Amino acid sequence: MTGYASASRSYVAVADANDVMRDLSPWVERIGPLGRELSALDATGINDTAGRTAAGREVAQEFALSGRWDDTPGIGPDAALSGIVGRAVTVHYGPAGNAPGQRRVAGKFVCLSYRITSKAGEPVRFEARFRQDGPAALGVW
């Protein structure tokens, strides 16, 4: 899965097991891809001289969050992500932050996995994968 490195001012929030939105921006180093995607339908008619395409249903996207792990109770990625595997939760993403007028992607996503990894001499890291559950909204804060 490809992704985009989060800018230092990006905003990422995920609802925890109690449906409380948790700002994970300080820990997330990578998110992606996340936006909107539609399926393509062949709309070519019998008299058309070239293929024609119509927009179909919204595709259920998958995206990943990854970054530095922190298990401080009540904050950080472990507190937010450890209790939501298998659940549909709200996700808000602002690639340029969450100031009024900035782009926002929001929707319900099922958390498919939450994993913790480490190597000797390196920081502990996490990765969580999500799959879209219903329409995603591309709007502004």
Classify each residue of 57-96 as buried b or exposed e, where b means 16 or more C-beta atoms within 10 Å of its C-beta.
Answer: eeeebebbbbbebbeeeeebbbbbbbebeeebbebbbbbe
Tens digit of each residue's pLDDT (9 = 90 or more) over 57-108: 877 788 999 999 998 888 889 999 999 999 999 999 998 889 999 999 999 9
Cβ pair 77, 27 in contact under 8 A: yes
pTM for the complete prediction? 0.80
- The share of the chain scoring above pLDDT 90, in percent, equals 54
pLDDT at residue 112, as a whole number: 97
Domains annotated for the chain, with CATH where assigned, are 4-38+57-140 (2.30.110)
Q: Give me the pLDDT at residue 2, please.
A: 45
3 pLDDT more than 80: no
Strands 88-94, 38-42: pairing is: unpaired
Query: What is the spatial distance between Cα 22 and Cα 34, in angstroms, rounded to a whole number?
Result: 18
